[in-house]
Amino acid sequence: MIVTLLGLTAMPLAQATPALAQSSGSQTQSAPAAVRVDEGYLLGSGDRLRVDIFGVPEYSGEYQVMADGSVNFPLAGSVSVQGLTLRQASATVAKRYSEYLTRPVITISLLAARPIQVAVSGEVSRPGTYTTTLNDTGIPTLSRMIQMAGGIKQSADLKQVQVSRRRPGGSGMQTFNVDLGKLLRSGDLSQDVQLRDGDTVIVPAATALNFAASSDLANSSLGASFDRPISVIIAGEVNRPGPQTVRGETIAVSDAGATVTPGQPATTRQRLQAPTVTRALQQAGGITQRANIRDIQVRRTVSDGAEQVLKVNLMSLLREGDAKQDLILQEGDRVIVPMATVAVTPEDAAIMGRGVISPELITVNVVGQVERPGAVQVAPYTTMNQALLAAGGFARGAKRDRVEFIRLQPNGAVDRRSVDIDFSRGIDQAKNPPLQAGDTIVVRKTGFQTFTEGLGQVLSPALGIFGIFR
Task: Supply the pLDDT for residue 259.
Answer: 53
pLDDT block averages, 10 residues each, the chain of length 470: 42 37 42 69 88 89 92 91 90 91 90 88 94 70 92 92 82 88 90 89 89 82 86 94 86 55 54 86 91 94 91 92 91 94 82 87 92 92 90 91 88 87 83 88 78 49 48
Distance, in Å, from the CA atom of 326 to the CA atom of 9, rounded to the nearest integer, reads 71
Task: Supply the pLDDT for residue 161.
Answer: 95
DSSP β-ladder status, 296-301 and 307-312: antiparallel
Q: Which amino acid is at 155?
A: S
Distance, in Å, from the CA atom of 384 to the CA atom of 364, rounded to the nearest integer, reads 10
Q: What does DSSP assign to residue 434?
A: B
- Give phi and psi for 215, each to the nearest 5: -70, -40
Q: How far is CA 304 from CA 155, 204, 206, 407, in A?
A: 12, 9, 12, 45
* H runs (alpha helix) in 127-169: 142-148
DSSP letter string, 297-324:
EEEEE-TTS-EEEEEE-HHHHHHH--GG
Distance, in Å, from the CA atom of 400 to the CA atom of 291, rounded to the nearest integer, reads 32
Distance, in Å, from the CA atom of 266 to the CA atom of 252, rounded to the nearest integer, reads 10
- Give phi and psi for 327, each to the nearest 5: -60, 140
Distance, in Å, from the CA atom of 226 to the CA atom of 274, rounded to the nearest integer, reads 6
Task: Supply the pLDDT for residue 453.
Answer: 54
**Percent of the chain as helix, strand, coil, to the nearest 5:** 20, 30, 45
3-state secondary structure 56-107: CCCCCEEEECCCCCEEEECCCEEEECCCCCHHHHHHHHHHHHCCCCCCCCEE
Domain architecture of the chain: domains with CATH? 2-112 (3.30.1950.10), 116-218 (3.10.560.10), 230-244+278-354 (3.10.560.10), 362-448 (3.10.560.10)
Task: Supply the pLDDT for residue 370.
Answer: 93
Distance, in Å, from the CA atom of 380 to the CA atom of 357, rounded to the nearest integer, reads 11
Contacts with 377 (C-beta within 8 Å, 6 or more apart), sequence order = 361, 362, 363
Under 8 Å between Cβ of 97 and 52: no
Distance, in Å, from the CA atom of 74 to the CA atom of 97, rounded to the nearest integer, reads 10
Distance, in Å, from the CA atom of 210 to the CA atom of 160, rounded to the nearest integer, reads 14
Q: Which amino acid is at 80?
A: S
Under 8 Å between Cβ of 41 and 35: no
CA atoms within 13 A of residue 107's CA, in its CB half-sphere: 14
